[in-house]
Amino acid sequence: MPLDRRAAELEVGEQLASWGKVIVIETRGRVTGRRVRAAIGFVDEPDGSILVAAGDPDAAWAANLVADPRATVTVEDSRREVEAIALDGRDWARAIRELILKYGTPAERLGAGPAFRLVPREAGAGPGEGGD
């Protein structure tokens, strides 16, 4: 995707995140190591975690989470550190269903890619440290 189109899409995504419609997830690029951002649909869970899913098995943000599960999410005026847990089986199916119910028909292509539960990380917790 051309850089200017990607920048425009992220700008729209950031506006939607400021309204609470999507989150902006910031991951570490698995190839470059640079911080990258994407706007994605989400479902808040009662336990404070967030469900997300990729509509494409090659979605860069999802592949980045597989390589390094640490991320930052921003929605409205809230920014928090999270750790991604890959979902499978019933948990994966539930995440897909909840996202389709929230976002409607355009979300129906979900299910082609991975799904994750994003759980809050304790401040200063690195991989394998705290945040149990």
Q: What is the pLDDT of residues 91-102, one digit of tens each?
A: 999 999 999 999
Query: Does residue 109 or residue 103 have the better pLDDT?
Result: 103
Q: Which pLDDT belongs to residue 8?
A: 64
Q: Are 66 and 113 in contact (CB under 8 A)?
A: no
List the domains of the chain with CATH numbers: 3-120 (2.30.110.10)
Instruction: Single out the residue of 25, 33, 22, 4 nearest to residue 103, CA to CA.
Output: 22
73 pLDDT exceeds 80?
yes
Q: What pLDDT is stored for residue 88 in this prediction?
A: 96
Q: Looking at residues 107-122, what average pLDDT do you find?
A: 86
Q: What is the pLDDT of residue 132?
A: 35
| Average pLDDT of the chain to the nearest whole number | 85
Q: What is the pLDDT of residues 10-29, one digit of tens each?
A: 676 676 667 678 899 999 99
Cα(74)–Cα(104) distance, rounded to whole angstroms? Answer: 22
129 pLDDT more than 60: no
